[in-house]
Amino acid sequence: MTIQAATSSMDALTSLSKRRGFIFQSSEIYGGINGFWDYGPLGVELKRNVKEAWWADMVRCREDVVGLDCSIIMNPRVWEASGHVGGFSDPMLTCRQCRRHFRADHMDDLITQSDWVASLCEAGEADAEGHLMLTHAKLERWIRKKGSKLAKGMALVKDADTHLDGVAKCVGEAPRALRDVLVALGTPGLPADSDPLPCPFCGGDLTAPRQFNLMFKTHIGAMEDHASTAYLRPETAQGIFCNYRNVLDSYRIRPPFGIAQIGKSFRNEINPRNYTFRSREFEQMEMEFFCHPSEADTWYTYWRDLRYNWYVQLGLHSEKLHLRDHEKDELAHYARACADVEYDFPFGTSELEGIANRADYDLTKHQEFSGKDMHFFDDQTRERFVPFVIEPSGGVDRATLAFLTEAYCEDEAPNDKGEMQTRTVMKFHPRLAPTKVAIFPLVRKDGMPEAATQIYEACKKAGIVAFYDEKGAIGRRYRRQDEAGTPFCVTVDGDTVSDGTVTVRDRDSLQQERLSADDVPAFVARHLHSE
């Protein structure tokens, strides 16, 4: 996908999300706050449905997994044991011109999303391989037009007299790969050990990378000193490890078994971006599965495949969804194996969930730091062992964004006059759809509103999220529900009052069928799980 196409499909989604109340910027009336988001009336239902589907499939429908809800702030020793105090950091670069910070390992991505880079690609008329031909004259024109507006911090732009000849010599003699051009543009004034790419925002030169710890700090109690420092959890998993003994001792369960948790996590991300994908406050759905070391490989493969299929079953098309096994050199030092479930977002292919075989690393670390025994004693085999852990760790907000992206669709549907018109429709899996059924009286008279209200009440009583709407032309009402992703619309008309039947319209196929009004709740309930 080209940069422009990716931006426009993301723009279409973000604008629908705001217009229809899926996602809002946090504190928007004060100009927002970078990396924080709010879910509106439709978004909160969608996100809740994602969590409920996960909880139902991972906990309630299984006999070997139990749930937990741990505090967000824990004893700071937890984060020393887990390695987060010492090692949970990302390499950060700072622009010497605009003072913005960037994650060194995200530079390639950031630069392809940069406005000035897009304008440079236009100026250089990329060939089929994406190689740019930037002659002296083209560079000069770019500096005068787009460059001076979009890349104010770039040495070449600020002082073309000094740099233009040299840069043009480097990049202007033959078509060059984009990265080589960017390196040449970023070079003036850079120390040799820093990342040679220029600032994705202003084109300025960047500092060498420094390590930046991602945990948010706070203080407990009245004194703000070192002794009162605490952290907002950067993952929910550690609460599970800390309670592993409590669960074993209080609940009749033994390995192999899992403990699951859904909850907020916080990371002071250097570059929150791509909408809700990388936020500073987000929700995770994590499960730690404790098993005998000899069974860990088998359980790893089991969870890896099951978690991938979970997303497919809820509507993510498998050609856009990938299960990527990590290479040996990508693995954390303690991990035996790891795979990511990745999705093709408009901004690139990115991780939704990681599934890892963490061996006995976490329990052994907590045993060492807390002095508490983490062994399990099997009274049948008389064996004592520290269980191995298989961890599927997913992000609620990333899954929700993937379901939103996948659902977004523009197609054609007839309007009130029977003419075909473009419509925007969110094709959510019925299980995830925020509203399951909308009920419309055709007109506001002849007993139709009363009959429609009765169906609406019956749906609510059956626990089905329903929406009642009697305003405007019927076609307009359908369109609004298409944008909200409501799978079924029920219309009450003149016949309903005489023969008790209604029309049910299917969001995706646009097929209409006649049904007894009394059967609506059962019809909707049946379809929630069948597709």
Applying CB under 6 A, which residues contact ligand ATP?
235, 267, 269, 278-279, 282, 284, 351-354, 393-395, 397-398
The distance of closest approach from Cβ of residue 286 to ligand ATP in the complex, given in angstroms and rounded to an integer, is: 7
Distance CA 162, CA 190 (A): 15
State the Cα angle at 280 between 99 and 403, rounded to 5°. 125
Tokens, residue 62: 């299984």
In angstroms, rounded to a whole number, what is the distance separating the alpha carbons of residues 270 and 94?
10
Residue 163 to residue 158: CA distance in whole angstroms: 9
Residue 381 Cβ vs ligand ATP, minimum distance, rounded to whole Å: 33
Are the C-beta atoms of 448 and 505 separated by less than 8 Å? no
Instruction: Give whichever of 397 and 469 is closer to ligand ATP, judged by the CB atom.
Output: 397
CB of 137 to ligand ATP, least distance (A): 42
Cis peptide before 256 (omega within 30 of 0): yes
- The residue type found at 195 is D
Residue nearest to ligand ATP (CB): 395
* Helical axes 474-484 vs 3-20, angle rounded to 10°: 120
Tell me the H-state helices in 320-360: none
Q: Across the strands, what pairs with 508?
A: none
Of 486, 350, 64, 348, which is closest to residue 340 (Cα–Cα)? 350
Instruction: Report d(CA 283, CA 90) in Å as an integer.
Output: 20
* Cα torsion 145, 149, 154, 160: sign: positive
Residues 6+ apart with CB under 8 A from 242: 70, 74, 78, 366
